Copies of this chain bind each other. A is one copy, B any other.
């Protein structure tokens, strides 16, 4: 297809597509004449992934480039390819819990212990490690230690979520096609971000309902 049709199919304006081509986020089309290029299904998928990262994930273009380079690599394992996108959409929370606070060291020890106990394989620089530590430290310093005691109940549930989610993104597409790294990355980005909102809003509703039924 020509660039105009690529734009119609994906909803991405032509000047934006040209910008992605210049930045090397989108591979060049096949030249059908000296000044006409033709685009294909992989371009459609790549554009959908870029939009998910930029629009939903608010990932800066330089980082998007790093992610798509990983996906185009012939040597990087899928875990590392997808991991780049996964880390990029982990937005830092502004908890501003200082690592100097006494509750911070206790929280760090609790997180290390949790990961060891559950046998989780986590990179030492995973951004979610810092977020989890800061959150536990904040709960403790605000005198709300009760929730921290239920860490394993939460961990049980998220493990079950993660199993569902990983099988959802790696199972064949509805049309039976195996999933390319681009398609898996797109599902991971959308599923991680929107799944978080899904869980958060369901949790608020369950809290409201239990409160309505028990506290009246």
CA distance A147 to B194 in the complex (A): 9
What 1/0 flags go to A140-157 for Cβ under 8 Å of B?
001010110111011101
Closest chain B CB from A117 CB (angstroms): 12
Residues of B within 8 A of A190 (CB): 139, 142, 144
Interface size counted on chain A using CB atoms at 8 A: 76
| Selected interface stretch from A14-22, A26-34, A64-72, A197-205 | A197-205
Q: Does A78 contact B (CB under 8 A)?
A: yes
A135 near B215: Cβ-Cβ < 8 Å: no
CA distance A3 to B205 in the complex (A): 39
Residue of B nearest to A207 (CB): B162
B79 near A138: Cβ-Cβ < 8 Å: no
CA distance A154 to B168 in the complex (A): 14
A162 near B79: Cβ-Cβ < 8 Å: no
Residues of B within 8 A of A191 (CB): 139, 144, 146-147
Q: Does A103 contact B (CB under 8 A)?
A: no
Residue of B nearest to A52 (CB): B142
Known contacts: A77-B216, A83-B211, A215-B82. The answer to whether A206 contacts B120 by CB under 8 A is yes
